[in-house]
Amino acid sequence: MKVVYQRPKSLYNAATSYCPGCTHGIAHRLVAEVIDELGIQGRTVGVASVGCSVFAYNVFDVDFQQAAHGRAPAVATGIKRVRPECIVFTYQGDGDLASIGMAEIVHAAVRGENITVIFINNAIYGMTGGQMAPTTLVGQKTTTSPFGRDPKLQGYPLKVSELLATIEGARYVARCSLHNPANIQKARQAIRKAFVNQVEGKGFSLVELLSTCSTNWGMTPQAALKWLEEKMIPEFPLGELRNEEGPVA
């Protein structure tokens, strides 16, 4: 008998609080695998945001701080400045990062804070019950855009990664998707790069992960994965948007 797969050391043996079919679990596992692989569990500090991942500290076996809505990059800044030897990452959704926390994420990138950001984009507010997010697609129905997002009333989806990729202090910005195994492997490589950058002192690194919310999209998990691939990826193209080799000069 040979062990071909096991729970990463950096995850507790605990059930998550996510809905069936949610891709948060995959994202958590990828982050934990990278932490294990780099051997940094004992010096990693996570920052949980407000949203479905508010209880991320019940899943990751690393030190954690729970941040106010949108403020995770500021909290991470405080931690990293006191403990530069620690590997600090935030785990934020699109409501948290792209709406209420827009100033904090932009300025953490501007300062080139040497932190890693995992950004879950599922085009909706999950925790609060399916309200419109800045990333909601045109025409997408949510509880607060019941007739579909209308650009004349609610504007167009916000492309955070493209925006952050224009900032000098951001050293690595990539968008990946969690809708199938091939893309999950690519996401894993991007997350690894975003953590290695921090270990090497290069500066701000962010990975956006296109994710599903079958509960609030009102779809089966399978249909949600298909919707992500067919609707979200054309709006949010995948790839490395910024990849600077050296640290900020």
Partner 1 sequence: MAESVLMKGNEALAEAAIRAGCRYYFGYPITPQNEISEYMARRLGEEGGVFVQAESEVAAINMVYGAAGAGGRVLISSSSPGISLMQEGISYIAGSELPCVLINMARGGPGLGGIQPSQSDYFQATKGGGHGDYRLVVYGPATIQEACDLMAHAFEVADEYRNPVMILGDGMIGQMMEPVSFPDRPEKPRLPEKPWATTGNAGRKSNLVSSILLDPEQLDAHNWQIQAKYTEIEKTEKKALVLYGDDSEWFFVAYGTVARICQSVVNRLRKEGVKVGLVRPVSLWPFPDYAFDQVVDRAKGFLCVEMSTGQMVEDVKLAVAGRKIVRFYGRTGGAVPHPRDVERRLRDMIAGKVPSVTDYWDKVGGVRA
Residues interacting with partner 1, by CB under 8 A?
41-45, 47-48, 54-55, 57, 60-68, 71, 74-83, 85-86, 103-104, 106-107, 110-111
Q: Toward partner 1, which CB reaches closer, 38 or 219?
A: 38
User: Minimum distance between the CB of residue 127 and partner 1, rounded to whole angstroms?
Assistant: 12
User: Minimum distance between the CB of residue 64 and partner 1, rounded to whole angstroms?
Assistant: 5
Q: Toward partner 1, which CB reaches closer, 9 or 139?
A: 9
Q: Toward partner 1, which CB reaches closer, 160 or 174?
A: 160
Query: Quick check: 137 and 235 in contact, CB under 8 A?
Result: yes
* Tokens matching residue 64: 């954690």
- H or E element in which residue 121 lies: strand 116-121
User: Minimum distance between the CB of residue 232 and partner 1, rounded to whole angstroms?
Assistant: 29
Q: Toward partner 1, which CB reaches closer, 44 or 183?
A: 44
Distances (CA, A) of 139 to 99, 118, 135, 157: 19, 27, 12, 11
Q: Toward partner 1, which CB reaches closer, 219 or 248?
A: 248
User: Minimum distance between the CB of residue 72 and partner 1, rounded to whole angstroms?
Assistant: 8
* Tokens matching residue 91: 């785990």
Q: Toward partner 1, which CB reaches closer, 18 or 236?
A: 18
For 155, phi then psi, to 5°, come to 75, -170
User: Minimum distance between the CB of residue 40 and partner 1, rounded to whole angstroms?
Assistant: 9
Instruction: Give 196's contacts (C-beta < 8 A, 6+ positions apart).
Output: 38
- H or E element in which residue 28 lies: helix 24-38
Pairing of strands 239-243, 204-210: unpaired
If we measure between CA atoms, which residue out of 226, 190, 197 comes closest to residue 115?
A: 197
Q: Toward partner 1, which CB reaches closer, 23 or 33?
A: 33
> Could you give the CA distance from residue 10 to residue 40 in angstroms, rounded to a whole number?
9
User: Minimum distance between the CB of residue 73 and partner 1, rounded to whole angstroms?
Assistant: 8
If we measure between CA atoms, which residue out of 201, 158, 174, 200 comes closest to residue 30?
A: 174
User: Minimum distance between the CB of residue 18 and partner 1, rounded to whole angstroms?
Assistant: 16
Distances (CA, A) of 156 to 134, 143, 152, 195, 243: 8, 17, 9, 31, 26
